[in-house]
Amino acid sequence: MKLLSNKSLLLFVIIFCVVWIDSFIRTNDYANWWIENILTFISLLTLIFTYRYYRFTTFSYFLIMLFMCLHVYGSKYTYADNVLGYWLKDTLDLIRNPYDRIVHFSFGLLLYLPLKEFFSDWLKYPKNLSIYLPVVLVLALSGGFEVIEWLVADIFFKEHGDAYLGTQGDVWDPQKDMALAFVGSIISCVIFLFNSRKPTNYFCQANKK
């Protein structure tokens, strides 16, 4: 299989599988784990079935793997009760567990470049549009995800709603999550624009097969 010919990609798959399996085996809430990982299954199936038609650069696959590891690690304890988040809360003297904020910020920060490649290399969008459209898409997807959270928590799985949402009493939690994802994508966009002006840079090289 060509998939296995890319040693870096194979390594990413192994790392993710280890983190994912560990999150399932050691979770403290199996019902919440399954709910949290519905989108994980959908994302993986999408990446697998589209692999023969389009392949991201190795660096983009690394970013995708990193984000998915952050997400499934959150599903291990539930986002609001994440162990790493509690450590950060105590260390930084925060008023809430910040792990969900980290993942939402990482959504924009880490997935900007894969989305940029998707628009420029697969859909062949104009250069300027492919640079800025991922920022808009991140904000749109963030809003869509908040709607999904509402449907899951208030309509389909009410008994697990509090654990799934993890708002921790913050009535502005959805808006803050969306804002952090947006800011993350802006930061990645600025980094890409800054590096693309250099004659030699990693981001430009990452766009080459």
pLDDT at residue 148, as a whole number: 75
| Whole-structure pTM value | 0.82
Q: Could you tell me if 81 and 97 are in contact, meaning their C-beta atoms sit under 8 angstroms apart?
A: yes
Digit-coded pLDDT (tens) for 65-103: 999 999 999 888 877 778 888 898 899 988 888 898 999
Range(s) of the domain holding residue 20: 2-206
Q: Between 26 and 164, where is the model more confident?
A: 26
pLDDT at residue 125, as a whole number: 93
Return the DSSP state at 199.
Answer: S
Mean pLDDT, to the nearest integer, of 39-67? 93
pLDDT level of residue 131 (50, 70, 90 thresholds): very high
Digit-coded pLDDT (tens) for 145-160: 878 777 766 655 555 5
pLDDT at residue 145, as a whole number: 80
Residue 118 has pLDDT above 80, yes or no: yes
pLDDT at residue 144, as a whole number: 85
pLDDT at residue 209, as a whole number: 45
DSSP 103-126: HHHHHHHHHHHHHHHIIIIIS---
* CA–CA gap between residue 204 and residue 190 (Å, rounded): 14
Region of poorest pLDDT, from 54-63, 136-145, 169-178, 197-206: 197-206
The number of distinct structural domains making up the chain is 1
* CA–CA gap between residue 74 and residue 191 (Å, rounded): 27
Tokens of 173: 């939690």
Residue 119 has pLDDT above 90, yes or no: yes
Percent share of the chain, pLDDT over 70: 82
Digit-coded pLDDT (tens) for 197-206: 765 454 545 5
Alpha helices, DSSP H only, in 94-201? 99-117, 127-151, 161-165, 173-196
Q: Mean pLDDT, the chain, as a whole number?
A: 83
Tokens of 47: 């990446």
The CA-atom distances, in angstroms, between 96 and each of 99, 142, 167 are 9, 21, 10
Q: Could you tell me if 179 and 36 are in contact, meaning their C-beta atoms sit under 8 angstroms apart?
A: no
Which residues have a Cβ under 8 Å from the Cβ of 106 and sit 6 or more positions away?
Answer: 66, 67, 70, 184
Residue 108 has pLDDT above 90, yes or no: yes
* Cβ-based burial of 95 (10 A; exposed 0-12, middle 13-18, buried ≥19): exposed
The closest alpha carbon to 191, from 11, 63, 103, belongs to 63
